[in-house]
Amino acid sequence: MDAERWDQLLDAYRAPLPSPVLRARVLAAAPRPPTWSRVAGRRMRAWAPGAGLAAAGLAGVLFGVVLSGSGLETSADTLLAEAGPYDEAVLNVDGGR
């Protein structure tokens, strides 16, 4: 048989309708839609990992801000006030006298 003949045969074929018994069996075996409590429970659990990741990111940013602001902004006056005799000689505090 050639392709044209197959096309004609397949076009002419009509599938029989399923019997009421088969239809009832298929519908009985189909999964049930989820109840509201299962849907809400899944949604509530879905945001928890995202909230944990956001909290960890925020903690990292805050830690970085606190760490970068601690002790790095020391003025020259503070350094000179805390300088000892050796530091004064190295820093040339009294203008080279």
Q: What is the pLDDT of residues 3-26, one digit of tens each?
A: 999 999 999 999 889 999 999 999
C-beta neighbour count of 83 within 10 angstroms? 14
The pLDDT assigned to 40 comes to: 65
26 CB contacts (<8 Å, ≥6 apart)? 18
Per-residue pLDDT tens for 56-95?
A: 999 998 888 877 765 555 666 666 666 666 666 666 655 5
pTM higher than the cut 0.85: no
